[in-house]
Amino acid sequence: MSKIILVTGASSGFGKAIATKFAAGGWNVILTARRKEKLDELAKALESTYGIKTLSLTFDVQDKKAVFDNLQNLPTEWQAIHILVNNAGLALGRDSFENANLEDWETMIDTNVKGLLYASKAVLPMLIKEKGHIINIGSTAGKEVYKDGNVYCASKHAVDAISKAQRIDLLPYQIKVTAIHPGAADTEFSVVRFKGDAEKAKSVYTGYTPLMAEDIADTVWYVANTPAHVCINDLVITCTAQANSMYLQK
C-alpha cells in the first residue's frame, strides 16, 4: 500500500511541487488549500499522470475549526499519514514597522504560526501511530531579520522555534521533525506579498537565478527518504547568488 503525505498550501508554489514530486514517487497525497478549483485540477493531473490516489480538502489553515473538522475526520483509508508538510504560509507587504498594516500582521501570524500549529496538532495522533515525519517550510527570514521584514520575519522565527520544540517534545514517539528554510524562490510568493502587483513581484528576481519550487520539492523528497535512524533537523537553502536574507548578488 502506498504511503500517505499531507501537504498544506498545495494549490501552487512549493506545495504543488512537493505534491507532484511525491506523487511521481508513488505516494498517495492529501492536498489542502483555500482554492478548490486549483486543488481539483492538481488532483486530477496527479491521479491521471502517476496513477496514485489523492484527497482534496478545501479550507484555510487560519480557521481552527475548519482545520480540525477536516483533519480529524479523515476517511479511514487516509488516516495512516506518514508525512505532514506544513507549507501553507505567506508574506503580506514590505513596510516599515510604523507604516505596516495591522491586518497584514494578523494574517501572517494566523497563517504562518497558528495554521502550522493547528495542522500539526490535528494530525499528530496519526503521525504518532505511524512514527511519522513533520516537515515545516520556514524561510531564511526565520534566521535573520531584515529591514521592513518585521512581522513576517517574526512569524518565520516562530516556525524555527516551533520546529525545534516539536523535535524535542516528540522525540519519545520517534517522530522526525525537519525545518527547511528557503531563500529567494520564484513562486507566487512575491505576487501575494505585493498584493497582485506582478511587475513589482517579477522585479524581485531580476538579475540572478532564484530557487524554483522544484528545488524545494527535491529537498523535501531527500530529507523524507533518509534512513530511519537519520533525521535532518534544520536546513537552509538559497540560490548560489544569495548568501542569506540580506546579501544577494545581482
Q: For 72-106, how does the pLDDT look when each residue is reduced to its tens digit (9 = 90+)? A: 999 999 999 999 999 999 999 999 999 999 999 99
Q: Is 152 a catalytic residue?
A: yes
Instruction: Assign domain 4-237 one CATH number from 3.40.980.10, 3.20.20.70, 3.40.50.720, 3.30.9.10.
Output: 3.40.50.720
* Residue bearing cell 475549526: 65
Residue 173: the pLDDT is: 98
The pLDDT score that the predictor gives to residue 1 is 60
Q: What is the pLDDT of residues 110-130, one digit of tens each?
A: 999 999 999 999 999 999 999
Tell me the domain boundaries of the chain: 4-237
Three cell numbers written together for 6 = 499531507
Distances (CA, A) of 127 to 92, 123, 151: 31, 6, 30
Question: pTM of the entire structure?
Answer: 0.95
In the block, cell 514597522 appears at: 97
Distance CA 111, CA 159 (A): 11
Low-confidence ranges of the chain (pLDDT < 70): 1, 190, 197
Contact criterion met (CB below 8 Å) for 52 and 20: no
177 DSSP β-pair partners: 134
pLDDT recorded at residue 199: 79
Catalytic residue among 50, 118, 152, 208: 152
> How many CB atoms neighbour CB 10 within 10 A?
32
What whole-number distance in Å separates Cα of residue 150 and Cα of residue 216? 24
